[in-house]
């Protein structure tokens, strides 16, 4: 088996056909993914038997945009499954992206067991939410201004709000055009401003058919600075009642517990669990050093991270003034499963869960206090699908 970039258009067509069969949907955005991502194919002779797309982007963790690789569209020919094709593809792109500077990698999947064996771990979950549009109608009038956003560049309000979470993509300019293609029936992005002209919220949506006559609004982005801004956003959405009676939020569009909907007059949302997202620390030392840490966290940690298939990695680092630096010459005294450390890094489990579930060895009071101080106040949320 050979792993290579697409050699010609026919390779891309075969990859698209594999993806169509694997996901029961057409891969219509292959051109933009090929332009901005790294598509790698598994070949058996001249035949394409599998493929993967790696999207080099940056993801926010603790307010910093870390070098990342989003894994998308992993598929294998039906007659080749169970032969290690996907594993080889993922090992290849992970090594390739790490060599170019990526320290973390994210993906969406319902197949947790498979990706755990390959080094990814659960980092967060997503839900779809549905709510009657009338529930968003405010009891008091909210005056606002609305403008359609040009989807050719990153939006500063999105970047400001996304950086408060662990996981959101720091969307490059092409990502916006990918998410909001210039088509008559595609989703549109709107900036909601107060009467002073200050941008307070971003709402993306498209009307979609439900049944022969019905419509609902499908929300693709929902960002609000505070409850007042959420009130403006909800007023804008509720004013689309002539188009739809129901609002559906795409998977991941709302963060856990959906605090923005607390401004709704009726909290009548119906929620369904969607695929979780998983994270891999391609370069654990780099991932620790690149992100900021709370100022209260001061000290040093000597870690032994136990990975899948019995692998282990030693990490020693000191933390001071919000920065971490790896050091040498220390002996690891704290042993943790790499999987749980990854979930803790993402903000999805607490320090107590990390130490209790991980059955960590040689935990001292200093270790416990330092890890707790490092946890900070950010929470995991990945609002982008890929």
Cα–Cα distance between 243 and 253 in angstroms, integer?
21
Helix (H, G, I), strand (E, B) or coil at 88: helix
Asked if 238 and 134 count as a contact pair (C-beta separation under 8 A), the reply is yes
User: Tokens in use for 359?
Assistant: 């059955």
Residue with tokens 């200093």: 366
User: For each of the chain's 386 residues, which pLDDT tens digit applies?
Assistant: 999 999 999 999 999 999 999 998 888 888 888 999 999 999 999 999 999 999 999 999 999 999 999 999 999 999 999 999 999 999 999 999 999 999 999 999 999 999 999 999 999 999 998 888 988 887 778 899 999 997 777 899 999 999 999 999 999 999 999 999 888 888 999 999 999 999 999 999 998 888 777 789 999 999 998 888 998 999 999 999 888 989 999 999 998 766 656 556 555 778 888 999 999 999 999 999 999 999 999 999 888 899 988 889 999 999 999 999 988 766 777 889 999 999 999 999 999 999 988 777 778 888 899 999 999 889 999 999 99
User: Tokens in use for 283?
Assistant: 């370069």
Asked if 303 and 288 count as a contact pair (C-beta separation under 8 A), the reply is no
Q: What is the pLDDT of residue 268?
A: 72
Maximum pairwise Cα distance, the chain? 70
Q: What is the pLDDT of residue 360?
A: 73
Residue with tokens 């107590």: 352
Helix (H, G, I), strand (E, B) or coil at 195: coil
- 327: number of Cβ within 10 Å: 12
Residue with tokens 């990490």: 315
- Residue 138 has φ and ψ, to the nearest 5°, of -75, 150
User: Tokens in use for 315?
Assistant: 């990490």
**Nearest in space to 62 (alpha carbons), one of 383, 375, 382:** 375
* CA 132 to chain CA mean position, Å: 27
Q: What is the pLDDT of residue 153?
A: 78
CB contact set of 309 (below 8 Å; sequence gap of 6+) = 117
Q: What is the pLDDT of residue 266?
A: 59
Could you give the residue ranges of the DSSP H alpha helices within 194-270? 227-238
Cα–Cα distance between 94 and 55 in angstroms, integer?
11
> Parallel, antiparallel, or unpaired for β 334-337 and 299-306?
parallel
Cα–Cα distance between 338 and 308 in angstroms, integer?
8
Asked if 56 and 72 count as a contact pair (C-beta separation under 8 A), the reply is no
Q: What is the pLDDT of residue 257?
A: 65
For 104-143, b/e burial (b = at least 16 CB within 10 A) is bbbbbbeeeeebeebbbbbbbbbbbbebbbebbbeeeebe
Asked if 201 and 223 count as a contact pair (C-beta separation under 8 A), the reply is yes
User: Tokens in use for 62?
Assistant: 């603790």
> Sign of the CA dihedral 175, 176, 177, 183?
positive
Helix (H, G, I), strand (E, B) or coil at 194: coil
The helix or strand, by DSSP H or E, that contains position 92, with its residue range, turns out to be helix 85-99
């Amino acid at each position: 088996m050979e792993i290579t970039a697409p050699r010609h258009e026919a390779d891309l067509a075969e990859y698209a056909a594999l993806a169509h069969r694997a996901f029961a949907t057409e891969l219509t955005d292959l051109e933009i993914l090929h332009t901005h991502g790294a598509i790698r194919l598994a070949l058996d002779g001249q035949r394409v038997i599998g493929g993967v797309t790696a999207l080099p982007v940056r993801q926010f963790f603790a307010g910093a945009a870390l070098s990342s690789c989003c894994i998308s569209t992993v598929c294998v020919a039906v007659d080749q499954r169970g032969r290690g094709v996907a594993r080889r593809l993922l090992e290849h792109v992970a090594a390739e992206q790490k060599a170019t500077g990526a320290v973390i990698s994210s993906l969406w999947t319902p197949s947790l067991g498979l990706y755990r064996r390959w080094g990814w771990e659960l980092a967060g979950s997503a839900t779809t939410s549905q709510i009657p549009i009338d529930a968003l109608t405010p009891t008091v009038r909210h005056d606002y201004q609305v403008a359609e956003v040009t989807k050719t560049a990153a939006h500063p309000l999105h970047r400001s709000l996304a950086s408060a979470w662990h996981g959101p993509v720091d969307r490059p300019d092409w990502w916006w055009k990918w998410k909001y293609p210039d088509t008559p029936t595609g989703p549109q992005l709107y900036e909601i401003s107060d009467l002073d002209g200050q941008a307070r919220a971003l709402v993306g949506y498209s009307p979609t058919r439900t049944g022969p006559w019905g419509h609902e609004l499908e929300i693709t982005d929902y960002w609000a600075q505070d409850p007042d801004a959420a009130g403006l956003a909800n007023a804008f959405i509720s004013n689309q009642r002539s188009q739809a009676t129901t609002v559906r939020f795409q998977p991941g569009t709302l963060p856990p517990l959906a605090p923005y909907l607390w401004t709704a007059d009726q909290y009548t949302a119906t929620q369904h669990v969607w695929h979780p997202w998983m994270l891999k620390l391609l370069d654990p030392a780099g991932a620790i050093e690149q992100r900021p840490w709370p100022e209260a966290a001061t000290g040093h940690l000597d870690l032994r991270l136990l990975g899948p298939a019995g692998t282990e990695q030693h990490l020693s680092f000191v933390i001071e003034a919000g920065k971490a630096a790896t050091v040498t010459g220390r002996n690891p005294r704290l042993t943790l499963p790499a999987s749980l450390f990854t979930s803790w890094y993402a903000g999805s489990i607490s320090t107590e869960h990390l130490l209790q579930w991980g059955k960590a060895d040689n935990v001292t009071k200093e270790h416990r206090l330092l890890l707790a101080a490092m946890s900070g106040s950010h929470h995991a949320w990945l609002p982008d699908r890929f």
